[in-house]
Amino acid sequence: MKDVYILAIETSCDETSIAIVKNGCEIDAFTVLTQMDTHAEYGGVVPEIASRMHTENITMVLEETLNKSSITINEITAIAVTYAPGLLGSLLVGVEFAKTLSYIYNKPLIAVNHTIGHIYANNINNQLKFPLLALVVSGGHTDLILMKDDYQFEILGSTLDDAIGECYDKVARVLGLKYPGGPNVDKLAKEGKLTYNLPKPVDDKTYNFSFSGLKSSIINLVHNEQQRGNEIRKEDLAFSFQYIAIDELKRKVGLALKNLNIKEMIIAGGVSANSYLRDEIKKISKEYNVNLSIPEFKYCTDNAAMIGAAAYPLYLKKEFANFSLNAKSQMNITEK
């Protein structure tokens, strides 16, 4: 078969990213323009600013990616774009840009779910082997998923309340850390010790998660200490939080590996960039004798390379979108 080059576009949050991905696994060219510094001034992503900045920058990001690429835009096989979930205005910039390119260059259009993109980041310079257990940990998700084949997702369990990334961001905020919260908690926790006694989530035997109790206990602890005029040892609290939260992920992963006797595992989503999580999941996969795939650091956070990787199985099945494609702010990975 002729090589398939997918030009992929990702604008679901605050990164404008375009990649050219060969055969779903090789990165021919890749650009990520982050708006992080702009949003940091406001303490979080401002949707209106995000979509405006995508509009201003997307053409330059395309030009830069094409300059890095070994092929021309005419040689592209298909155009892929993230259409859900994410910030509506931001998604729309990518979707309309993708439709325009598809129309002008007469290339098939492929609509990709952002969360599925995070999972397929593990296919870059690698090949997913099924059946596999996927732990998806991001700003919007904390899911344990069984995949028996490409695009077959069985959700074993999910968070019953907050996503783990959301929890990281909240903890960062009460500790007075700057946006983006997760990476800053990660950094600070490296200097900390387990000194705070935080509540462990209930020890049940389901594959579901719960983080809101842990989050609330940290918010209350910080407020109480502040009212008493006591100083918070921020690095110790950051470490103690991570210790409990990631222990919960490990416990549920261990339960699934044991019950399902699976030998392949992947982690995906923004929180998979967390250094403590990466180390702890490596330990548990060794304990259960499982092959573990962790995306390269640059493919853990939002990027278009993962969208190109996730578009490839859809290209092979000829699952193309038409020009009525619209963006959606919410979407489960099992929805079409």
The full DSSP string for 213-252 is: HHHHHHHHHHHHHHHTTPPP-HHHHHHHHHHHHHHHHHHH
* Radius of gyration for the alpha carbons in the chain, expressed in angstroms and rounded: 20
Nearest Cα residue to 61 out of 7, 120, 115: 7
| Site for ligand KG4 contains 165 (CB under 6 A) | yes
Please choose which of Zn ion, ligand KG4, none residue 24 contacts, taking the beta carbon within 5 to 8 angstroms, the exact cut-off set by kind: none
Please choose which of Zn ion, ligand KG4, none residue 168 contacts, taking the beta carbon within 5 to 8 angstroms, the exact cut-off set by kind: ligand KG4
DSSP 8-state symbol, 196: S
Least CB distance to Zn ion at residue 114 (A): 6
Nearest Cα residue to 69 out of 11, 77, 34: 77
| Site for ligand KG4 contains 9 (CB under 6 A) | no
Q: Name the token pair of 282.
A: 């490596």
Least CB distance to ligand KG4 at residue 258 (A): 26
Least CB distance to ligand KG4 at residue 318 (A): 27
d(CA 6, CA 109): 10
Least CB distance to Zn ion at residue 302 (A): 4
Q: What x-and-dash track marks residues 196-235 binding ligand KG4 by CB under 6 A?
A: ----------------------------------------
| Site for ligand KG4 contains 39 (CB under 6 A) | no
The correct pick among 29, 302, 309, 314 for binding ligand KG4 (CB under 6 A) is: 302
Q: Phi/psi at 104 (nearest 5 deg)?
A: -65, -45
Q: Which residues contact 37 (CB under 8 A, 6 or more apart)?
A: none
The correct pick among 31, 35, 159, 301 for binding ligand KG4 (CB under 6 A) is: 301
Least CB distance to ligand KG4 at residue 101 (A): 24
Residues 248-287 touching ligand KG4, rule: CB under 6 A, are 269-271, 273-274
Please choose which of Zn ion, ligand KG4, none residue 313 contacts, taking the beta carbon within 5 to 8 angstroms, the exact cut-off set by kind: none
Choose between 102 and 242: whose C-beta lies nearer to ligand KG4: 242
Least CB distance to Zn ion at residue 117 (A): 7
Nearest Cα residue to 120 out of 99, 134, 105: 134
| Site for ligand KG4 contains 186 (CB under 6 A) | yes
Please choose which of Zn ion, ligand KG4, none residue 192 contacts, taking the beta carbon within 5 to 8 angstroms, the exact cut-off set by kind: none
d(CA 70, CA 40): 35
The full DSSP string for 136-163 is: EESSS-EEEEEEEETTEEEEEEEBSS--
Least CB distance to ligand KG4 at residue 138 (A): 3
| Site for ligand KG4 contains 308 (CB under 6 A) | no
> Closest residue to ligand KG4, Cβ-based?
270
Residues 108-127 touching ligand KG4, rule: CB under 6 A, are 114, 118
CA dihedral 188, 194, 196, 200 (to 10 degrees): 110
Choose between 14 and 248: whose C-beta lies nearer to Zn ion: 14
Buried b (16+ CB within 10 A) or exposed e, 314-328: bbeeeebbeeebebb
| Site for ligand KG4 contains 182 (CB under 6 A) | yes
User: 234-260 and 212-227 helices cross at what angle (nearest 10)?
Assistant: 170
Choose between 176 and 229: whose C-beta lies nearer to ligand KG4: 176
Interface contacts to ligand KG4, rule CB under 6 A: 114, 118, 138-140, 165, 168-169, 180-183, 186, 269-271, 273-274, 301-302
